[in-house]
């Protein structure tokens, strides 16, 4: 029996009056990779963004329901979203290193901006550890002072992962982290995810079913009944079960490529 990292209870996400994701209850296991799949517009990215309270950054966006992290409801009125995001990091679809910063400063950005002072030796350790964990250290150790935006797309994405894990979150959310990358960089990121799950809980949104099958332990399938209808969690099970004998016909159809 694996421990629970995060639990959502009848979670719904809105954009203004539009209900984008309805009534999702799921349990995310600790130190595992959970993949969220589904056709475009089914709300899987929106759902992911509710997990670290990034959804509400968008004007008029709001959330109902509960998410519990270690017994605490993230949507409790007293909870500071800034502190939630320090514990639940996020990697985005497009690599977005800070353009004004060097590789080193990009890795340190989260740590430095959260608290003001960091001794140099400690900072050096954080940079090396994070870049090593992101499998980027060997490629960039000679040019840490160079701008982060000068790296290739795949390297930039690994830099963003290094930046996210430098603040030592418990959970790492990845919103289609490979969709802007070539196959070789994708492979590098997938290998990285498998290494990361020994330390972190990873939740990944992906369009790529093969990717979900390759890396994840559990898979959740989101779908929507029709356009303008809310997305729902249709089925959630072990990845092997999902891809071999899904319970619902909808899931089987999607996995077999009959729609989506």
Partner 1 sequence: MATIALGLPATISLTRDHVRRGRRVKNQVATIGVVSVFTLALLPLVSVLWTVLTRGLARFDGEFFTNSMRGVLGEGGGAIHAITGTALITGATVIMSVPIGLLTAIYLVEYGKGPFARAVTFLVDVMTGIPSIVAGLFAYAVFSMILGPGVRSGVAGAIALTLLMTPVVIRSCEEMLRLVPQDLREASYALGVSKHRTIRKIVLPTAMSGIVSGVMIGIARVVGETAPLLLVAGFTDSMNTNLFSDRMSTLPVFIYSQWANKGVNAAAYDNRAWTAALVLIAFVLSLNLLSRLVARVFSPKVSR
Binding residues for partner 1 (CB under 8 A)? 52, 54, 57, 59, 82-87, 89-90, 92, 94, 96, 98-100, 102, 109-110, 113-114, 146-147, 149-150, 160, 163-164, 167, 169
Report the sign of the C-alpha dihedral through residues 241, 178, 132, 48, in that order: negative
Residue 226 Cβ, how far from partner 1 at the closest point, in Å? 29
Q: What letter would DSSP give residue 147?
A: B
Nearer to partner 1, 39 or 168 (CB): 168
Residue 163 Cβ, how far from partner 1 at the closest point, in Å? 7
Residue 34 Cβ, how far from partner 1 at the closest point, in Å? 18
3-state secondary structure at position 21: strand
User: What is the distance, to the nearest Å, from the Cα of residue 195 to the centroid of all Cα atoms in its chain?
Assistant: 15
Nearer to partner 1, 57 or 194 (CB): 57
As a whole number of angstroms, the distance between CA 194 and CA 174 comes to 13
As a whole number of angstroms, the distance between CA 64 and CA 42 comes to 18
Residue 104 Cβ, how far from partner 1 at the closest point, in Å? 13
Residue 231 Cβ, how far from partner 1 at the closest point, in Å? 21
Residue 54 Cβ, how far from partner 1 at the closest point, in Å? 6
Nearer to partner 1, 102 or 185 (CB): 102
Nearer to partner 1, 87 or 214 (CB): 87
Distances (CA, A) of 247 to 43, 59, 74, 235, 250: 21, 38, 31, 8, 9
Nearer to partner 1, 65 or 110 (CB): 110
Q: Which residues contact 32 (CB under 8 A, 6 or more apart)?
A: 2, 197, 201, 202, 217, 218
Nearer to partner 1, 94 or 214 (CB): 94
| Contact present, 224 and 231 (Cβ < 8 Å) | yes
């Amino acid at each position: 029996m694996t421990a629970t990292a995060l639990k959502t209870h009848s979670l719904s996400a809105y954009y203004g009056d539009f209900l984008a994701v309805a009534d999702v209850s799921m349990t995310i296991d600790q130190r595992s990779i959970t993949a969220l799949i589904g056709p475009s517009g089914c709300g899987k990215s929106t759902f992911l963004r509710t997990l670290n309270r990034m959804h509400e950054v968008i004007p008029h966006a709001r959330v109902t329901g509960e998410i519990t992290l270690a017994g605490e409801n993230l949507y409790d009125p007293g909870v500071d979203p800034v502190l939630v995001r320090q514990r639940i990091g996020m990697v985005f679809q497009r690599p977005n290193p800070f353009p004004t910063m060097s590789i080193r400063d990009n890795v340190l950005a989260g740590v430095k901006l959260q608290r003001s002072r960091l001794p140099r030796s400690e900072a050096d350790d954080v940079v090396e550890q994070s870049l090593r964990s992101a499998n980027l250290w060997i490629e960039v150790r000679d040019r840490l002072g160079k701008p982060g935006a000068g790296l290739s797309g795949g390297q930039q994405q690994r830099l963003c992962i290094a930046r996210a894990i430098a603040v030592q979150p418990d959970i790492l959310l990845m919103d289609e982290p490979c969709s802007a990358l070539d196959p070789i960089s994708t492979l590098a990121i997938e290998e990285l995810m498998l290494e990361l799950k020994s330390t972190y809980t990873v939740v990944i949104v992906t369009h790529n079913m093969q990717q979900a099958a390759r890396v994840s332990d559990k898979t959740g399938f989101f779908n929507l009944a029709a356009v303008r209808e809310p997305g729902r969690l249709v089925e959630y099970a072990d990845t092997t079960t999902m891809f071999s004998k899904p319970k619902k016909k909808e899931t089987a159809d999607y996995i077999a490529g009959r729609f989506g």
